[in-house]
Amino acid sequence: MSRKQQVPRPGSDLGGDDSGCPILHADMDAFFASVELRERPELVGTPVIIGAPGPRGVVLSATYEARRYGVHSAMPMTRARRLCPRATVIPPSHGKYSEVSRGVMEIFRTFTPEVEPIASDEAFLDVSGARRRLGPPARIAAMIRERVAAEHGVTCSVGVASSKLVAKLASQHCKPDGLFVVPADRVVDFLHPLPVAVLWGVGERTERSLARLGVRTVGDLARTPVETLQRELGRASGAHLAALAWGRDDRRVTPHVPDKSIGAEETFAVDVDDPVEIRRELLRLSERVAARLREGGHAGRTVSVKLRRPDFTTLSRSRTLAEPTDVARELYSVACDLYAASGLEGALVRLVGVRVENLLPAGAAPRQLALGEREAGWREAERAMDRAARRFGRDAVLPASLVRTRSEEE
């Protein structure tokens, strides 16, 4: 677990009355790893790491058995393997995770329309309107957990509380595979023993600033005058953290938060200076981004390319199109132009990325056909590829240049 996720279990016997607790935070347990273990039951109970196995790979997920060795998401794979050499490393299957994520979110929406996904594996729910039909919040949380396990073979932990902040901390408190209620009148009892780093807005720099004031727990923060916090952290940040220390968080569950951008990037196993290889990766990333745009019902006008050198300096270039697009061929054409204009063509590159911004609902803007262009073209072909991918897997249909020969694979 990361520093921000470490929520020790308070000694008091919190739990019980959920009458003032309409907010749920549902968080899948070691999500990617759990999805993989459905097909590998022999690995259940053993350390498993999900991530690219190469020297540049990073950890995407790890079972709790691996986490006991200090392995956590975003850690370099080389370090994870040193910490836990006996772990089984499984390359990620993103299409599989997306499919389970969609199914889980649909389960949430059968209980309430007030669902705010904040990642592929977690969401806030407001069950205020569901109580008359389904019962108290804790009962709804239990039903959600049962359905997720029964229909998808993975587990989730659910926190039940009066606010988003406390619900999220409650779900972390009961991981893995748990349910925990923080009654509205026990919020302070729950929060004050916790380390101050669990609060939203407390990064490493803020934590160091608070430590200089002798503030190490949420309780210490609550007992510090607001004026002192504002002098140290700034007026807005000081007031924000002072309110959170007393459990005051009035943010509402906001369903259907629109995506601001959609992108994908890839770190090469070894630095690459071959323009042909880099363009092939730009094509692969353009295909992935376009598929995600179509899946979400989006089209975008601004295309950007990210290029990272071996010394980790990063260069970005972007172009805004006359019309929004969700077609990989169009994204790839722009990405290649941006790469050519970057000044790095032929230079060593460590990472490449493609991103689309200025998103609109697909079809919101009329599309002008070019002279001589057929009405049925690349967009329809790529949608046919989407249908094949959903049925047979993402690699079932690929552009010819992405199909590697046997000698390349070896």
Q: Is 410 a catalytic residue?
A: no
Joined tokens for residue 20? 């003032």
With beta carbons less than 8 A apart as the criterion, state whether 318 and 303 touch: yes
**Are the beta carbons of 196 and 218 closer than 8 angstroms?**
yes
- Which residue segment(s) compose the domain that 151 sits in? 14-181
- For the chain, how many structural domains are there in total? 3
> Is 233 among the domain residues?
yes
SS (H, E, C) the chain: CCHHHCCCCCCCCCCCCCCCCCEEEEEECCHHHHHHHCCCHHHCCCCEEEECCCCCCEEEEECHHHHCCCCCCCCEHHHHHHHCCCCEEECCCHHHHHHHHHHHHHHHHHHCCCEEEEECCEEEEECHHHHHHHCCHHHHHHHHHHHHHHHHCCCEEEEEECCHHHHHHHHHHCCCCCEEECCHHHHHHHHCCCEHHHCCCCCHHHHHHHHHCCCCEHHHHHCCCHHHHHHHHCHHHHHHHHHHHCCCCCCCCCCCCCCCEEEEEEEEEEEECCHHHHHHHHHHHHHHHHHHHHHHCEEEEEEEEEEECCCCCEEEEEEEEEEEECCHHHHHHHHHHHHHHCCCCCCCEEEEEEEEEEEEECCCCCCCCCCCCCCCCHHHHHHHHHHHHHHHCCCCCCCHHHCCCHHHHC
- Residue among 292, 283, 236 at smallest CA distance from 262: 292
Do 157 and 285 belong together in one domain? Answer: no
Q: How far is CA 166 from CA 182, 391, 392, in A?
A: 7, 40, 42
- Catalytic option among 36, 114, 122, 281: 122
Q: Give the separation between CA 60 and CA 72, rounded to whole angstroms.
A: 8
Of 218, 245, 272, the one marking the end of a domain is 245
Say if residue 145 is in the same domain as residue 198.
no
Same domain, 324 and 374: yes
Q: Is 326 labeled as ligand-binding?
A: no
Specify the CATH number for the domain of residue 285: 3.30.1490.100
- If asked whether residues 173 and 201 sit together in one domain, one would say no
Instruction: Please tell me whether residues 93 and 35 are part of one structural domain.
Output: yes
> Are residues 68 and 208 part of one domain?
no
Same domain, 346 and 324: yes
Per the annotation, does 121 bind a ligand?
Answer: yes
Same domain flag for 159 and 220: no
What does the pLDDT profile of the chain (410 residues) look like in tens digits?
A: 344 344 444 433 455 688 999 999 999 999 999 999 999 999 999 999 999 888 788 899 999 999 999 999 989 999 999 999 999 999 998 888 988 998 999 999 999 999 999 988 999 999 999 999 999 999 999 999 999 999 999 999 999 999 999 999 999 999 999 999 999 999 999 999 999 999 988 988 999 999 999 999 999 999 999 999 999 999 999 999 999 999 999 999 999 766 788 998 888 888 999 999 999 999 999 999 998 898 888 899 999 999 999 988 889 999 999 999 999 999 999 999 999 999 999 999 999 999 999 888 876 555 554 445 444 455 665 555 555 555 544 554 555 455 453 344 44
